[in-house]
Structure 1
Amino acid sequence: MNSIERLDIKTVDPAQQAMRKHKPFRGWLYAVLFIVIDFLCLAILQIGVSEPTGKSSAETSVAGLGDMITKLFTQGNCVLLLNLLIIGLVYLVVLMVANRFWVASPIMVALALIISVIEHFKMELRYEVVQPADLAFIHNGNAGELTTFMPSDAAATITMAAVVMAVVIALCAWLNHIDGRHGSMIRMSGKAKGLGAIIRILLIVLPVGALGLYTHDVGTTDSWAYHVSRGMGDTPSMWDSVYDAQRNGVLPAFLRVVNPKVMDKPADYSEATMKQIADRYAKEADAINKNRADKLTNSTVIAVLSESLADPDNVPGVTLNEDPMPNIHAIMENTTSGKMLSSGYGGGTANLEYMELTGLSMANFDSSLTSPYQQLVPAESWTPTFNQMWGKQHSIALHPYEASMYSRESNYKKFGFSHFYALNGGTDVISHQDKLDDSPYVCDKAAYESTLEQVESTKDPQFVQLMTMQNHMPYNNWYKNNEFKATNTEDSPALKESETEAIDTYAKGVQHTDEATADFLERLDSIDKPITVIFYGDHLPGIYKTAGEDSANSIALHETNYFIWSNKASGRQGVKIDDSAYSSPNFFMAQAADQMDAKVSPYLAFLERLHANVAAMEPPVVNTIQGWDRIPEGNNIYLDQDGKEVAYADLDAQAKQLLSDYKLIQYDITAGNHYLKDTSFMSLPDNAGTM
């Protein structure tokens, strides 16, 4: 070998030697690996929302990655592909920024692991998934407090995630070594460098733009993003954020609540307009209060949402062999009572509860806002609720079921409740958890006993919110010695066998509720402090399939029973206010103030005035179990004092003005600039309480 040949050998570029040793990966292999990493990131995210140890319930069963795969091949449900598409767009952006496959891939896995660990921590502590409001919490300078939210197994979880990350980094480093191309995505030299830069920019801007537009629009009914998401199988489960993330994927469940459409801005909304409204109803409150003797917050108010309670005999085509609720019927005869128009059928409990606590109406919201507890409340900076008039120390909530349902645990803190007693509410565990026969739910008698303990624990007036669970569906022949038999009425279609069995079981449960409620009021009557009870069924159970087949039954299938009752110590027992035959839950607190002869705030004065002109109101309803895609299409429902439906066009000028003011008030509180916050609109006279 001559000297020239030896010189050539010595000056060979090491990179060229590596290229000769390791061949570049083919483009198709990068595509396969992209899909693999994409799928791995999805799996990691779903692991983060899997059930904590010892956690299980029918409502929150694991519905993760395996179910997504199964649904894709058995039902054509493409929610798996929706998740992969969203993650893939993020992956593409990271890939173009880094321009190195073996750098971008571990970054993506690291992001998935971080999110998964955070989800796991929140699941362990609150049994909730991460919400957009949590990001606002960090943005507002609270990042330093995050360490206080770490569960006991935090170190083990972080260590496991670190080990997984180390393995991924080592694997990517090895693949980078054997890949002659070293993961370089867009390699252009000379005059083509500019073209390469343009391609990379486009592959960053386009995915970011697509994700931004999707996030902006997916929470709005009938938008392109809404149809894409639903078309690919995203089925919102807004009653449980964990189940929603398990069923539909962490990212779709998160993104759809980032920017929900709350309400259209009224054309005349302004600070001046809201000041006029505040002044108008301050005068109305003054006029009412001249004839009122008491302060609202001098009494204890107990709001009882009785799960699915509604008289079966009121259902068209259904009759029972005996009355399952004679005590409640007797109570209703002797106090303020009537039928409540419900926005739900077979579901939607928290929406009725939201209206009762806030005085706001689902009828005013955009059709996109199907669950204020999930879509609205977590991000609100001002959330006035009636319990706040009693103060945090005297605001108590109880629910003999999972604290996480409808995000109640976190929402109740925002509402100003000092304690929320539930089956798994940390230190606030509800004290009585007895069940009846084979029923899986805590019975109403036990729920009432827990409530009585709270009421009897202090002589101070309180606001107590109780949501029962005994009569929640399904109804599977749970009760022994059930004497109830449902049949169809004369000239009505015959009931299906499965339908009659469910109605029979439900009727027996109603009887147990009836007896427990009578005992509860008797106990309250013996307590030497003024107490008023707001009692209502939230919706009918979704078991009346035969009646539901006839659209003419829509109103009847959305009417439950309610009453407002006061004990002897209140001095208002036996009072029955004039306009009580029909109502909706947004009016209950105004009606209770009237029943109690209590002075009102301008807000309560407005609600009392509206109720006198529009007895009940709800958004459009359907005869199927509550859905979570959208509020049903159609016109809002307005009932007069006789329970007859009245079209908006047929309302008088005063009613229309009140409804217009209502939209302005609700917009200001929920989506507007909160001009009313700095007025006395929510304040009781003499600062007896504020919201």
Structure 2
Amino acid sequence: MAKKAGKEFPGWLYGVLFVLFDAVGVAALQIGVSESATRVQLSNNMWLTGWGFVGKMFTSANFVAVLNLILWGVLYVILLMLTNRFWVATPVFLAVTFIIAVIEHFKVSIRYEAILPSDLNFLKADAGNLMSFMPSGAQWTILIAVAAFAAFVALFVFLNRLDARHGRLFRGSDKRSRSVNAIARLLLILLPGLFFTLYSMQVSTVGSWAKGFATVMGDKPSMWDSVYDAQRNGPLVAFTRQLNPKVMVKPDDYSEETMKQVAARYEKAAKKINAKRSANMTDSTVIYVLSESFSDPSRVPGLKVNKDSIPNIRKIKQNTTSGLMLSSGYGGGTANLEYMGLSGLSMANFDSSLTSPYQQLVPSEHWTPTINQMWGASKNSIGLHPYESSMYSRATNYKKFGFSHFYTLTGPDVISHQDKIDDSPYVSDEATYQSTLEEVRKTKSNQFLQVITMQNHMPYHDWYKHNDFKASSTTGKPLKDDEKESIETYQKGASLTDGATAGFLSELDKLDKPVTVVFYGDHLPGIYSSASADDGNSLALHQTDYFIWSNKASGTQGNKIDNAEYSSPNFFVAQAAEHMDAKVSPYLAFLTEMHSKISAMEPPVVNNIQGWDRIPEGQNIYLDSKGEPMAEDDFDAETRQLLADYRLIQYDITTGKNYLKNTSFMTLP
């Protein structure tokens, strides 16, 4: 007796199954970027996983989960139309999804980093070494994924037998029907493909329809941590955001000939500067200290403090090159200040769509000149950061910058001192300085050291015992309890930094080799909600403290240079050279001249804690030597020329053809 044939599945059932399997794919990717191991965290918020990713649709009207369903669904539709077989396309779709999820899981486990567009370059260049990136126990993850996929395949085989259509979506027996179906399938390939392509190419551009669409759906970029970004917004949303960032507008006169003229112009300037200088910059060890959230609480508008948090650093500043630094961030954006300090480039020159050079720019750059490279071999470049190496993709970027070691809590180079103070969750500045001193003492050769502290990172929750710092409002409106607690905890932390920094310099002063320290706060902590409520306080909330100090052995201790009262981190290297009486490259000569005309420069600043939709478009902030804002329309011809040259230089280095690479523009005499 013949076996009774199954019934044809109706179109609506295919629709339901499409949504179901699309959701399975999105869920698999979310599982891939989940991390069960305990990790250091920047706040009390738990990583967003599973229910949190979906549940926020109901708790906060955030539909980023739906955005992920749409994006994966678009790719799913294209695959369905290519095969015209639901029970063929669906297992292929899930197979690809599971493979990506497993790779995500492996990368998160090994490097605590989600899949990035730059990984595609690795696949091209070093695909043969993929097996070396398998974590321990990888076989169990693979077996679980294979078992889950096999279960789905069994389900598909069963459903295919029940379905008399066998998953065939478009059917037609006559020529006309086949032609209509072919056209329909082609349109359902081209239109979704066009949507996905345009979305991917434009979602990182401020003002584009794709960016607006993603924002409305709930995408909240979290560029400081690729894993958190993927967990919070979905791996595909986080990935596409980094595919095509708009870096800079190409200058109209950009060409090889123009860049040769720029190089020649500042080669001449360098010779003029060097004729008056006697030292070489690399004859000293230079240490950049990015002190997390360091600033003077007494300068916050509307705030009264009971005593000075930074008496030692205030005294240090009085006796050396020092001033206030204009920051592009408030309560966030550390890596952008760090990038400017290391590269000499300015966020003010980038398009407002570029939110984080460390994630969106550096991984794809072919040439990444940074100031540490002036010290030659990579063994002379050392990085220290008592936190996770994956934050802001630092581990990858520092290797690209030419650092031989980057000491962190998570390795592979583990920082030696990890002491914390009282109930603080972060490594103290004193411990970080101890680790730094060990590196300085380890060798007699001169080095460049990049130190990024963590002690004063937010949040601030009454960590310290015997804290007698008090804060109050002068505006007539008392501080709220949580703001008051945060400020007073921060004050104590700043005081601890003050003492530790003075001790650090004292130890460096005992060394018989020349050392220069560039110390700066990256941004104010985002705790001054009363002060930030007033837009008139914007400039004050974006000014931190900095100084450039040299030890006795350097011969330049006590030097004070002109035009130091205000600065921004892109100018620090030029200022350090002047402070050290050191000869400069054409690039440093350019930065010296630029700083003489514009003391500080940053993109437009705002009072809210910096997110990753970047700061709003508008006039960049330019300050003169007295800290007064300057309007670009009022610049003289020389300043206009310098600013135009800056944009040409930055474009050539970051997204242009690197014409300057083949010149002596970056070479010290």
Would the TM-score normalized by the shorter structure come out above 0.5?
yes
Per the TM alignment, residue 337 of structure 1 is displaced from its structure 2 partner at its CA by: 0.2
- The residue identity in structure 1 corresponding to 2:495 is Q
| 1:298 alignment counterpart | 283
Q: 1:650-689, aligned counterparts within 5 Å? A: 650-685=634-669
2:532 maps to what in 1? 548
- Report how far residue 65 of structure 1 moved: 3.3
Task: State yes or no: 1:89 paired with 2:74.
Answer: yes
Matched, 1:183 2:167: yes
Instruction: Please say if 1:409 is aligned against 2:404.
Output: no
Return the alpha-carbon distance in structure 1 between the equivalents of residues 552 and 641 of structure 2. 39
Of 418, 424, 440, the match for 1:433: 418
Q: Would the aligned equivalents of 1:554 and 1:622 in 2 still touch at CA under 8 Å?
A: yes
**Which shifted more, 375-384 or 277-286?**
375-384
Give the AA of the match of 1:281: Y
Residue by residue, what CA displacement relative to the aligned partner does 1:260-317 show, whole Å, maximum 9, x if unpaired?
0001111111111111000000110111111111211111000000000100111111
Q: Distance in 2 between matches of 1:503 and 1:166?
A: 56
Candidates 452, 466, 476, aligned match of 1:481: 466
Instruction: Read off the aligned partner of 2:385 and give its amino acid letter.
Output: H
Whole-Å separation in 1 of the counterparts to 2:42 and 2:522: 21
CA distance in 1, matches of 2:279, 2:22: 64
Q: Is the 8 A contact 2:368 2:401 kept in 1?
A: yes
- Which of the two has higher C-alpha Rg? 1
Matched letter for residue 648 of structure 2: L
Tell me the equivalent position of 1:423: 409
What is residue 13 of structure 1 aligned with on the other side? none
CA contact 1:304–1:533 (8 Å) conserved in 2: yes
**Which 10-residue stretch deviates more, 646-655 or 596-605?**
646-655
Q: Is the 8 A contact 1:369 1:631 kept in 2?
A: no
Helix, strand or coil at the partner of 2:294: coil
Correspondence 1:234 to 2:222:
no
Q: Which amino acid is the alignment partner of residue 414 of structure 1? A: K
Query: Partner letter of residue 266 of structure 1?
Result: P
Corresponding residue of 2:256: 271
Q: What letter is aligned with 1:243?
A: Y
Q: CA deviation at 1:499?
A: 2.0
What is aligned with 2:307?
322
* C-alpha distance in 2 between matches for 1:668 and 1:52: 43
Report the 3-state secondary structure (helix = DSSP H, G, I; strand = E; otherwise coil) of the residue aligned with 1:606: helix
Helix, strand or coil at the partner of 1:294: coil
Shift of 1:153: 2.1
1:609 aligns with 2:593: yes
The partner residue of 2:266 within 281, 288, 291 is 281
Could you tell me which amino acid in structure 2 is paired with residue 636 of structure 1? N
Conserved in 2, the CA contact under 8 Å of 1:615 and 1:641? yes
Q: Cα offset for 1:359?
A: 0.3
Residue 446, structure 1, aligned to residue 431, structure 2: yes
Deviation at 1:493, TM superposition (A): 4.4
Displacement of 1:477 in angstroms is 1.0
Report the Cα offset of residue 148 of structure 1: 2.0
SS in 1 for 2:561: coil
Deviation at 1:656, TM superposition (A): 1.4
Contact 1:52 1:124 survives alignment (8 Å) = no
After alignment, is 668-677 or 149-158 more displaced? 149-158
- Give the distance between the partners of 1:614 and 1:488, measured in 2 at CA: 34
Shift, 1:201, TM fit = 1.0
Residue 562 of structure 1 aligns to a residue whose secondary structure is strand
2:201 to 193, 216, 219: 216
Pairwise CA distance, 1:56: 5.3
Q: Secondary structure at the match of 1:36?
A: helix
Is 2:599 aligned against 1:599? no
1:633 positional shift? 2.7
The one-letter code matched in structure 2 to 1:413 is K
Please state how far the C-alpha of 1:58 moved relative to its aligned partner. 4.4
Q: 1:488: how far off?
A: 2.6
CA shift for structure 1 position 539 = 0.4
Give the secondary structure class of the aligned counterpart of 1:96: helix
Q: Is the 8 A contact 1:298 1:461 kept in 2?
A: yes
CA contact (8 A) 1:52 1:123 kept: no
Does the residue aligned with 1:465 lie in a helix, a strand or coil? strand
Runs (5+) with no aligned partner, structure 2: none
Matched, 1:115 2:100: yes
CA distance in 1, matches of 2:254, 2:49: 44
Moved more, 586-595 or 56-65: 56-65
For 1:204, the equivalent position in structure 2 comes to: 189
Bigger Cα displacement from structure 2, 44-53 vs 441-450: 44-53
What residue in structure 2 maps to residue 71 of structure 1? 56
Judge conservation of contact 1:317–1:492 (CA < 8 Å) in 2.
no
Q: 2:485 aligns with which of 490, 493, 501?
A: 501
Tell me how far apart the structure 2 counterparts of residues 672 and 61 of structure 1 sit (CA, whole Å): 41
CA distance in 2: counterparts of 1:498 and 1:193, whole angstroms: 68
1:143 aligns with 2:149: no
Q: Report SS of the residue matched to 2:323.
A: strand
CA deviations 1:460-493 (Å, max 9, x no partner) are 101000000111111111111111111233x664
> Residues of 1 paired with 2:465 and 2:151: CA distance?
58
In 1, distance between residues paired with 2:145 and 2:14? 25
Kindly report which structure 2 residues correspond to 1:494-573, keeping only aligned pairs within 5 A, or say none: 494-573=478-557
Q: Please give the secondary structure, in 2, of the residue aligned with 1:598.
A: coil
TM-score, length basis structure 1? 0.95
Letter in 2 for 1:581: E
Following superposition of structure 1 onto structure 2, how do residues 159-198 of structure 1 map, counting pairs within 5 Å?
159-191=143-175, 192-198=177-183
Aligned partner letter, 2:54: I
Q: Does the alignment pair 1:374 with 2:374?
A: no
User: d(CA) in 1 for partners of 2:161 and 2:351?
Assistant: 55
Deviations 1:379-410 (A, max 9, x none): 11111111111131110001111111111111
Q: Which sections of structure 1, spanning at least 5 residues, go unmatched?
A: 1-8, 10-16, 686-691
| Cα distance in structure 2, aligned partners of 1:182 and 1:284 | 76
SS of residue matched to 2:386: coil
Once the two structures are overlaid, the 10-residue window that deviates more, 644-653 or 517-526, is 644-653
Per-residue CA deviations over 1:604-638 (Å, capped at 9, x if unaligned) read 00001100110000000001101211322321011
Aligned match of 1:354: 339
User: Structure 1, residues 440-467: CA drift from partner, whole Å, max 9, x if none?
Assistant: 1111000100111111110010100000
**1:168 and 1:488 mapped to 2: Cα distance?**
62
Q: Give, in whole Å, the separation in 2 of the partners of 1:57 and 1:580.
A: 37
Partner of 1:457: 442
Q: Distance in 2 between matches of 1:177 and 1:413?
A: 54
In 2: Cα distance, 1:212 partner to 1:583 partner: 41
What SS class does the counterpart of residue 599 from structure 1 fall into?
coil
Q: Secondary structure at the match of 1:231?
A: helix
| Contact 2:40–2:388 under 8 Å retained in 1 | no
Say which of 11, 17, 31 aligns to 1:47: 31
User: TM-score, normalised to structure 2's length?
Assistant: 0.98
State the shift of 1:374 in Å.
Answer: 1.1
- d(CA) in 1 for partners of 2:543 and 2:480? 22
Work out whether residues 61 and 243 of structure 1, in 8 Å CA contact, stay in contact via their aligned partners in 2: no
Note if 1:28 corresponds to 2:12.
yes
Which of residues 453, 475, 479 is equivalent to 1:468? Answer: 453
The one of 236, 253, 271 aligned to 2:238: 253
SS of residue in 2 equivalent to 1:528: coil
Q: Is contact 1:317–1:493 with CA below 8 Å preserved after alignment?
A: no
Q: 322-331 vs 642-651, which deviates more?
A: 642-651
Q: Deviations over 1:577-607 (max 9, x none)?
A: 1110100000001110111111111000000
Q: What is the SS of the residue equivalent to 1:345?
A: coil
1:144 shift after superposition: 1.3
Q: Output the CA distance in 2 between the equivalents of 1:372 and 1:54.
A: 28
1:137 Cα deviation after fit = 2.0
Counterpart selection for 1:643 from 600, 618, 627:
627
Return the alpha-carbon distance in structure 2 between the equivalents of residues 44 and 652 of structure 1.
58
The aligned amino acid for 2:547 is F
Distance in 1 of aligned mates of 2:452 and 2:557 = 24
Equivalent position SS for 2:414: coil
Per the alignment, residue 395 of structure 1 pairs with 381
